[in-house]
Amino acid sequence: MTELVAYLISGIALGSSFALIGSGFVVVHRVTRVVNFAQGSVAIVGGMTSATLLDGLLPHGLGEIAAVLLCGVVGLVIGLLAIGRRGTPPLISLIVTLGASMLVSAAIIWLWGQDPVAPPGLGGSVTILGAEVERQRLLVVVATGVAFAALALFFSRSYLGKGLTASASNPFAARMVGIDVRKMGLLAFGLAGILGGLAGVLIAPSNPLSFYSDLPLVLSGFAAAVFGGLTSPLRTLFGGLCLGVAGQLTAGYLNGSYQTEMALLLMLVIMIIRSRAFVQEEVK
């Protein structure tokens, strides 16, 4: 029982980071129809940067925030590369994001080396239903909840959020009412960078990151986003949590090295089940 509780909570924490990365996919895809595969590398940049900044440069809190903001800038630059040129087809932009992801990976190796890096997190642990839980994992869950609530408010309340929603809903009509759809796309890339960076900063203290972490992170995040049909942040959150919990249960009761395969398998199953929904999306 305590084992199960521990797996569930660490699964939810890990799933939260997948959900954050996945919501980055969703935000960009909704507005630009581009799948941004650089999303995982941005998360790693976030984790690495916070480790460097917290190593004597900035206090806790500031260091993490600075790392997340830097990821927003990185996301924006990737956006400029991918959709900066007017009229770039989404598939070409997708390839550009893949290339950007490799560039970022190279930069990570150059700046931080190949070994996993873990920034200091919240120390200590608490006992929940008999299970020892690191406080950092609880922080991940809480921060993700706050991030999703802020995202929902941003989309429904602010002008920029409405502009993004309108651009996603009908780009042609959005231009007609004076919305610069390309600028909205760049904004989405920046926002995705912030979400990815947040995921990296939060997860790195308990799951050390290296450039190798890119693929597992991007696949899991993408699987979560696919669960949300690449359009719904809320269903992405749910998908991410399911994926995290399933992965931790697999790791705990079967074998830890199956986690990524688990994500891939779930993604395939979801894509096959929901393929009709995707086709309808395309037709619209």
Partner 1 sequence: MLTIDRVSRRFGGVYANQDVTLTVAEGELRGIIGPNGAGKSTLFNLIAGHIRAESGTISLAGRRIDRLPAHARARRGVGIVFQGARVFPGMSLLANVMVGAHAHTRAGVVAAALRPPSQRREERAIRAQAEDCLSRVGLLDWASRPAEGLPLGQQRRLQVARALAGLPRVLLLDEPASGLRAAERQELAELIGELRRDGTTILLVEHDVGLVTSLAERITVLDLGRVIADGTPSEVTSDPAVIKAYLGTGDTHAADR
Q: Is 131 in the site for partner 1 (CB under 8 A)?
A: no
173 binds partner 1 (CB under 8 A): yes
Q: Which of 174, 198, 262, 266 binds partner 1 (CB under 8 A)?
A: 174
Q: Tell me which residue of 179, 157, 141 sits closest to 13, measured CA to CA.
A: 141
Helices 90-112, 214-227: inter-axial angle, 10-degree rounding = 150
Task: Report the nearest approach of partner 1 to the CB of residue 159 (Å).
Answer: 5
Our finding on whether 163 is near partner 1 (CB under 8 A) is yes
Q: Which is nearer to partner 1, 137 or 182 (CB)?
A: 182
Q: Determine if 117 is a binding residue for partner 1 (CB under 8 A).
A: no
Out of 123, 172, 272, 276, the residue judged to bind partner 1 by CB under 8 A: 172
Residue with tokens 């995982």: 40
Distance CA 27, CA 219 (A): 17
Instruction: Pick one of 52, 165, 232, 260: the residue that binds partner 1 (CB under 8 A).
Output: 165
Could you say which of 26, 181, 237, 267 contacts partner 1 (CB under 8 A)? 181
Non-local (6+) Cβ contacts of 278 within 8 A are 229, 271
Residue among 189, 194, 201 nearest 44 (CA): 201
User: Is 170 a residue that touches partner 1 (CB under 8 A)?
Assistant: yes
Of the candidate residues 177, 272, 273, 283, the single one contacting partner 1 (CB under 8 A): 177
CA 235 to chain centre: 14
Q: Does 180 bind partner 1 (CB under 8 A)?
A: yes
Binding to partner 1 by residue 159, rule CB under 8 A? yes
**131: helix, coil or strand?**
strand
Looking at 17-25, 167-175, 256-264, 269-277, which segment touches partner 1 (CB under 8 A)?
167-175
- Minimum CB–partner distance for residue 235 and partner 1 (Å): 15
Q: Which are the contacts of 268, defined by CB distance < 8 A and separation ≥ 6?
A: none
CA atoms within 13 A on the CB side of 2: 8
- Name the minimum Å distance from CB 162 to partner 1: 6
Q: Could you say which of 1, 176, 272, 283 contacts partner 1 (CB under 8 A)?
A: 176
**CA distances (Å), 251 to each of 111, 244, 248, in order?**
31, 10, 5
Q: Which is nearer to partner 1, 110 or 159 (CB)?
A: 159
Least separation in angstroms between residue 272's CB and partner 1 is: 26
Residues 13 and 5: their CA atoms lie apart, in Å, by 12
Smaller CB distance to partner 1: residue 179 or 266?
179
Q: Decide: helix, strand or coil at residue 269.
A: helix
The residue type at 204: A
Does the protein bind partner 1 through residue 162 (CB under 8 A)?
Answer: yes
Nearer to partner 1, 179 or 202 (CB): 179
For the four alpha carbons of 235, 238, 243 and 244, in that order, the dihedral sign comes to positive
Amino acid making up residue 227: F
Site of interaction with partner 1 (CB under 8 A): 158-160, 162-163, 165-166, 169-170, 172-181
